[in-house]
């Protein structure tokens, strides 16, 4: 992890230069902004209204207790959808051409329990640069020692069952994020090869906004709702199980399926291909023709386009995907995709089973 990874010179491949030129030409010819359009702002209003509205209905105390649990599940899913559709684009700088607008909508990440500053490091910088490289891409490190998805991962004989227990573990992702992950990543000396050195303001932001989340989602409901502590605890757990499972599955289906690579740098820290080619071999799409997936998943089912053009709003991925796929074929590069969510889920299951069997043999 201490060794810095370098990719082969971009001059060694004309793929990305050609693709970038064609995508830029597409936006220019159609006089389109690469940022949000009217449809995207409509989605933003929908998801934020749903998230805030469901929360307010829950803490209003107007509903019978038995209705609060299913609403907590829906709130958990909407929390994930807000992250996918609004915050993810904003933190990448893709939602708007105005940095202040992006910062405003990125701030909402705090209200679903995650720190936007830490995410910008772990995801924007590290994951997008070192995608699927063991020891560098910490986004693929889910329960180290329990989940094995690369040859270099730690071997544990219990992993022969990982294709069964991985999914319940994914459902804990949101709870970990709220109470543990951000703090751990913030105070690590390094995230992958990235040296952590934080502005003083971010120390305040981390603790203040975590406290705000704990107040809004733990203290306030306990104060205003006529429920016992154990009823609240069940609702809180169900909220985060729904949110965690939604997030975990979407992220895993984009990088840990059949056909994706987990390349290892050579002795000098070199990856023997250009960065863009590396993205094509480590990233996968799924359910790209499913309108519901396109609406709810914020373009994360078109992960190839997102990794190549993270500053382009996801609302445009469907149109530029035609250009990406055609250009990849011209340069003999893979374009990995599963036709449906279920086929991607099965492919992920088989990948977990494969690496679990290898662990059992070792």
| Domain residue extents for the chain | 6-359
| Residue-by-residue pLDDT tens, the chain, 362 positions | 456 788 876 555 789 999 999 999 999 999 999 999 999 999 999 999 999 999 999 999 899 999 999 999 999 999 999 999 999 999 999 999 999 999 999 999 999 999 999 999 999 988 998 999 888 887 777 777 788 887 777 788 888 889 899 999 999 999 999 999 999 999 988 777 777 889 999 999 999 999 999 999 999 999 999 999 999 999 999 999 999 999 988 989 999 999 999 988 887 778 888 999 999 999 999 999 999 999 999 999 999 999 999 999 999 999 999 999 999 999 999 999 999 999 999 999 999 999 888 766 65
320-338: b or e for each residue (b if 16 or more CB lie within 10 Å)? bbebbbebbeeeebbbbbb
Contact at 8 Å (CB) between 191 and 198? no
């Amino acid at each position: 992890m201490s060794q810095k990874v370098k990719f082969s010179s971009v001059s060694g491949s004309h793929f990305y230069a050609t693709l970038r030129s064609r995508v830029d030409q597409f936006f220019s010819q159609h006089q389109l902004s690469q940022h949000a359009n009217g449809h995207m702002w409509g989605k933003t209003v929908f998801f934020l209204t749903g998230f805030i509205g469901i929360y307010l209905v829950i803490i209003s105390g107007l509903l019978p207790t038995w209705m609060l649990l299913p609403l907590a599940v829906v709130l958990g899913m909407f929390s994930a959808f807000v992250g996918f559709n609004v915050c993810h684009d904003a933190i990448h700088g893709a939602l708007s051409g105005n940095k202040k607008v992006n910062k405003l909508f990125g701030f909402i990440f705090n209200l679903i329990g995650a720190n936007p500053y830490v995410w910008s490091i772990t995801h924007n910088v590290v994951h997008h640069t070192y995608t699927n490289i063991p020891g560098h891409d910490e986004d693929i490190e889910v329960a180290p020692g329990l989940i094995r998805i690369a040859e270099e991962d730690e071997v544990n004989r219990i992993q022969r069952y990982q294709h069964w227990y991985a999914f319940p573990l994914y459902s804990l992702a949101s709870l970990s994020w709220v109470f543990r992950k951000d703090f751990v990543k913030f105070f690590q000396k390094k995230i992958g090869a990235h040296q952590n050195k934080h502005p003083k303001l971010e120390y305040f932001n981390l603790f203040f906004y975590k406290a705000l989340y704990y107040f809004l989602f733990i203290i306030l409901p306990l104060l205003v709702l006529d429920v016992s502590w154990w009823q609240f605890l069940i609702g809180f757990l169900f909220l985060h199980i729904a949110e965690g499972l939604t997030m975990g599955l979407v992220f895993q289906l984009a990088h840990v399926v059949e056909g994706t690579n987990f390349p290892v740098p050579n002795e000098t820290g070199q990856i023997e291909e250009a960065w863009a080619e590396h993205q094509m071999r480590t990233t996968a799409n799924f359910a790209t023709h499913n309108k519901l997936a396109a609406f709810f998943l914020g373009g994360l089912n078109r992960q190839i386009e997102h990794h190549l053009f993270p500053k382009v709003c996801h609302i445009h991925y469907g149109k530029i995907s035609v250009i990406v796929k055609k250009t990849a074929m011209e340069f003999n590069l893979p374009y990995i995709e599963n036709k449906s969510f279920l086929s991607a889920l099965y492919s992920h299951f088989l990948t977990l089973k494969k690496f679990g069997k290898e662990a059992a043999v070792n």
